[in-house]
Amino acid sequence: MLRFFAKFKFLAIVLSILSVIIIFSIYSLLKPKEKLQVFQPDMVNAELVDTTIQYVRKYHRIADFKLVNQNGDTITQDFYKDKIYVADFFFTTCVTICPIMTDHMLKIQELIQNDSDVLLLSHSVIPEADSVPQLKKYAIEKGVNDSKWNLVTGDKKQIYELARKSYLATKTDGDGGPYDMIHTENFILVDKEKRIRGFYDGTNPEAIDDLVHDLKILKAEYQN
């Protein structure tokens, strides 16, 4: 009896390995791949969407822009062409949610340091106070990597229109005038086609973990 089992031991091992491979292959084929949805204005909380685009169901893209970064360089959509990026809205003198958001952006910056596909973009919501020198000072203090992360200032009405009509990032209404003020904790994940693929609470560590997870899923879409 022992001789019998010894004779077929090798065959049994081979069959066991093949069984594991076959089961894993079937599981991989049957398990659906994770994929992020593309957000359209009509899918988002109506409070976050400007009434002029509230019922848009397809083709929503981040609008073209022209702003200035911490180095005085003009930043347009061309800088983010064929890139995935994370956008948010802040101001350098904020002492409430912005420091937390900046710390979380720094965490993302560290994770994407060597990833040529991913960039960051932070818009000042008080551009008249956040001059280029002020943004540069803030960038140096916080450890911003200029090649990965733009802190931008510029025309307030343009920035506020981007927040409300492109990034769908804020609940408040306004015209970008002197008394208009937005203050949002949202981080927005944007794909290479300038489409929104996710919203995240920039003050919540768990939401940042979700963002990092979704970033990997989005990158995998372009690799397959």
Lowest-confidence region among 24-33, 158-167, 184-193, 200-209: 24-33
Q: How many residues does the chain have?
A: 224
Whether residue 206 is predicted with pLDDT greater than 60 in this model: the reply is yes
Lowest-confidence region among 36-45, 113-122, 173-182: 173-182
The pLDDT score that the predictor gives to residue 50 is: 83
Query: Using one digit for the tens of pLDDT, what is the confidence trace for 41-86?
Result: 999 988 888 888 988 999 999 999 999 999 999 999 999 999 999 9
How far apart, in whole angstroms, are the C-alpha atoms of residue 18 and residue 24?
Answer: 10
How far apart, in whole angstroms, are the C-alpha atoms of residue 118 and residue 192?
Answer: 10
The torsion angles phi and psi of 67, rounded to 5 degrees, stand at -130, 180
What confidence tier does 123 reach under pLDDT thresholds 50, 70, 90? very high
Q: Give mean pLDDT, residues 110-126.
A: 97
Q: In this structure, is the dihedral angle defined by the CA atoms of residues 62, 63, 66 and 67, taken in order, positive or negative? A: negative
Query: Using one digit for the tens of pLDDT, what is the confidence trace for 84-106?
Result: 999 999 999 999 999 999 999 99
Query: Is the pTM for the entire model greater than 0.75?
Result: yes
Whether residue 27 is predicted with pLDDT greater than 50 in this model: the reply is no
What does the mean pLDDT of the chain come to?
A: 88
